């Protein structure tokens, strides 16, 4: 029991150090984050009700294969304009629950 309590105390101390010395100083690279998010194939699921699963899957595969943003490939392969695609593929709205 004494060893268990000692181990728990060590873990608690290390957790505080990790938070103070490492996690608190993390800086988000917004450009890289936005770039990676724009290429994430999961975004096309928002297009399924509008263009169908098959077409959305083709867009996701092409975007992944070419390393391009989903919105650019969708713009080329659908009749939807950029403004509509920006609304449909907005990650913030997609993660907030509902469109």
Domain of residue 76 covers 40-96
Kindly report the CATH number assigned to the domain that includes residue 84: 1.10.40.30
What is the reported pTM? 0.70
Q: Is 68 a domain residue?
A: yes
pLDDT digits (tens, 9 = 90+) for 58-86: 999 999 999 999 999 999 999 999 999 99
Q: Quick one: average pLDDT of 18-47?
A: 91
DSSP-derived letter for residue 2 is H
Return left, alpha or beta for 52; rule: phi > 0 is left, psi -120 to 50 is alpha, else beta. left
Q: Helical H runs in 1-99?
A: 2-21, 30-38, 48-51, 53-66, 70-77, 82-88, 91-96
What is the domain count for the chain?
1
């Amino acid at each position: 029991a004494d060893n268990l309590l000692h181990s728990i105390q060590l873990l608690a101390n290390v957790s505080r150090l990790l938070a103070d010395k490492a996690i608190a100083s993390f800086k988000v690279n917004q450009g890289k984050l936005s770039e990676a998010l724009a290429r994430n194939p999961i975004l096309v699921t928002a297009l399924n009700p509008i263009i169908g699963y098959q077409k959305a899957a083709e867009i996701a595969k092409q975007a992944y294969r070419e390393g391009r943003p989903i919105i650019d490939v969708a713009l080329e392969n659908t009749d939807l304009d950029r403004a509509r695609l920006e609304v449909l593929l907005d990650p913030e709205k997609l993660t907030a629950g509902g469109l």
